[in-house]
Structure 1
Amino acid sequence: MINGLTVDLEDWYHICGVEGYSDPQNWDTYENRIIRNTDKVLALLRTYKVRATFFVLGYIAFKEPDLIRTIKSEGHEIATHGFYHKRIFEMTEREFEEDVHKSISVISSNINEDVLGFRAPEWSIRKETPWMLKILRKLGILYDSSMVPLTRMGSRDFPLYPCKFTTDYGVIWEFPLTTTRLFWEHLPFTGGLPLRIFPYFYIVSKIQRINREGYPVIVYIHPWEFDVEQPHIDLPVSRRFMHYFNIKATCKKVEGLLQHFQFSTVKDVLGIRT
C-alpha cells in the first residue's frame, strides 16, 4: 500500500487566529527560517528516496520562488495551502476564491504546471462551508485534503477515507485526515501534535491496520517541526502545547515511518492523471 506524505510549507509564525502573527502586514518583520527548515525535510526525503506533496503557502511562493523550484526539481508535487494562511470559516466565498486564485497564480508561475491540490489552513473546512469544494473545482483543483471527521474540528459526517464529491464544475477528490476510532470520535494520529505525542508503536500499528483494510493513510508534517531552536510565540496554554510539545521527536518518528511504509504524492496515491 502506498500512503500519502505531505508537507504544509509554512514558517514558524504562520499561526491562525493569533493577534499580530496572523496579520500578513507583520510577516516581513519576522525571521525567515523556512529555507533552512525545508532543507532538513528535503534531505530526509532524499535519503529515503521518497516523493511528497508540498502544500505551499502562496506567500512563501511569492517570497521564495527559488525554494519552490528546488522542491519541484527534486520530484515533489507542489499543491496550495492558500495564500495568507486564513481559515476558511473566517472568509466569505469571494474572499476564499480570491485567496486561492492568488496562490495558484503565484505557484503555477514558479513551476510552469497546473496546481491540482489544496489543503485548508488548520483543516478549517466545516459543515457550514460546503461551497469550498465547488470553488476549488472551479479554479481547476482536482483534489482537496482538508476534511477531518471529528466534532468541532470538522464534522463526524465527513468521510474517513479518500472519496469523490460532485460539484457544479465537475468531480473533486477528497483525501481526509487519517483518524482512528476512539469511542464515538475519530482522532487524528498521523501528523502534528498527535504524531508527536502518541507512542511510535501505536502509530505504526494503526497505519498497518488501515492499510490491511485496503485504505491509504495521509501523513503531514511542517518544516518548523524540525526546528527546536525556533522563536517561541506567547500563545494561550492549549495552543502553546499543541504547537511546541515534543517537536524534538518529529524527525525521528517521521524517519521511522519512511523506513516502515511506502509513501508518495497525493496525486499518485489517488491515481490522478492530467
Structure 2
Amino acid sequence: MSITPPITNALTIDVEDYFQVSAFAPYIQRSNWDSRECRVERNVDQILKLLAEHNVQATFFTLGWIAQRYPKLVRAIVDGGHELASHGYGHERVSDLSERQFFDDIHSAKSLLEDIGGVEVQGYRAPSFSIGSQNLWALDTLQRAGYRYSSSIYPIQHDHYGMPDAPRFAYEARDGLMEVPPTTMRMFNRNLPSSGGGYFRLLPYALSRWMLRQVNSKDASPAVFYFHPWEIDKNQPRVEGVGLKTRFRHYVNIGRMEQRLGCLLRDFRWGRMDHIFLPQSVQKASLV
C-alpha cells in the first residue's frame, strides 16, 4: 500500500525593514528612511541560518530599496538556494500608484534584483497585498513587465486590503501570469486568514498548525505562508506615536515568533514558490 507523501507548502518572506511597514507610513517619512537604524541584514541572516538548520528553501520577496543598499543580502539569499522575487522598489501600495508609476516600480525592482542576484526574477508580491477589485489592471502591468506569477490578492475581508471573492488557490489570472494567493481556510461561509503575518503571531500555534493541516488535507492544496524579517526582531526600535491598533498588530508576540517558526519548519514540508507552482498547470479563472 503506497503512502502519499506530505504536501510541500510555500514558505515566503517579505524582505522589508520595520520602518517601511505601510501602517507606519503616517509616522515615518519616506525621506527619513536612510536615517533610520536598518536591521534587515541581521534579521535576514538569522532567517537564513534557521532555514539551513531545517534544510528548507524559501522565496524572498525583496524590496529594490533594500537590495540596492545591501547587495550582499541578496547574494546570500541566492547562494542559499532560495528564490529571489520582487516586492517592488519602494514599498508603495499599488492602490496609490498610476499604471505608469506601477510599471516603473516593478520594472526597476526586477532589473535591479536580477543584476545583483544574477538570477531571473519571476515572482512579485504587492506591498500590503494591495491588488484587488479596484486595480486589476495591475495584473496586465505585471504581465507586461515580464513576471510569471504574483502573490498579491488576498481573498479575505480586511480593513486595509483584501478581495474576498477572489479564488482561494493558484490560478492563471492572465495568459502567462499566475496569481498564487496567501492561504485561507473556508469556515463559517467565509475565508479565514491562515497564512502567517500578524495572525500567526496572535493565534495559538496549535490553531495555526491545525488550519494549515486542514488546507493540506481537506483541500489537498499547498499552503502559502508569509512573514517579515522584522517579526523575529524583538529589539527593533519602537516607533513613537502610533495608534493602539497599529501598535498591537505590529508588536504582538514578536518575542515568540522565531520559536514558532522553528515549530512550523519541523511540522510541515516547505519549498520555493517557483518550484511548487510554476511547473504545474492550474485551473483558469477570470478576473476582469
TM-score in terms of structure 2 length: 0.90
Among 84, 87, 104, the residue aligned to 2:90:
84
Among 29, 43, 59, the residue aligned to 2:35:
29
2:181 alignment partner in structure 1: 176
Among 182, 190, 206, the residue aligned to 1:201:
206
CA contact under 8 A between 1:56 and 1:78: conserved in structure 2? Answer: yes
Question: By how many angstroms is 1:182 displaced?
Answer: 4.1
Q: Distance in 2 between matches of 1:182 and 1:91?
A: 34
CA contact under 8 A between 2:89 and 2:106: conserved in structure 1? Answer: yes
Among 266, 269, 273, the residue aligned to 2:273:
266
Among 191, 196, 208, the residue aligned to 2:196:
191
CA contact under 8 A between 1:189 and 1:198: conserved in structure 2? Answer: no
The reply on whether 1:104 has 2:104 as its aligned counterpart is no
Q: Deviations over 1:116-151 (max 9, x none)?
A: 000011111120111111111111100000111112
Among the aligned pairs, what percent are the same residue? 35
Question: By how many angstroms is 1:244 displaced?
Answer: 0.8
Aligned Cα root-mean-square deviation (Å): 1.4
Between 204-213 and 99-108, the greater mean CA deviation after superposition: 204-213
1:41 alignment partner in structure 2: 47
Question: By how many angstroms is 1:262 displaced?
Answer: 0.5
Secondary structure at 1:51's aligned position in 2? Answer: coil
Secondary structure at 1:5's aligned position in 2? Answer: strand
TM-score in terms of structure 1 length: 0.94
Q: Distance in 2 between matches of 1:19 and 1:210?
A: 36
Secondary structure at 1:220's aligned position in 2? Answer: strand
2:166 alignment partner in structure 1: 158
Q: Deviations over 1:226-259 (max 9, x none)?
A: 1101001132111111111111121111111110
- 4+ residue runs of structure 1 moved beyond 4 angstroms? none
Q: Distance in 2 between matches of 1:173 and 1:192?
A: 22
Letter in 2 for 1:102: S
The reply on whether 1:222 has 2:228 as its aligned counterpart is yes
Q: Distance in 1 between matches of 2:267 and 2:21?
A: 31
1:149 alignment partner in structure 2: 155
CA contact under 8 A between 2:94 and 2:131: conserved in structure 1? Answer: yes
CA contact under 8 A between 1:191 and 1:219: conserved in structure 2? Answer: yes
Q: Distance in 1 between matches of 2:20 and 2:153?
A: 20
Letter in 2 for 1:250: M
Letter in 2 for 1:160: R
Question: By how many angstroms is 1:20 displaced?
Answer: 4.8
CA contact under 8 A between 1:4 and 1:269: conserved in structure 2? Answer: yes
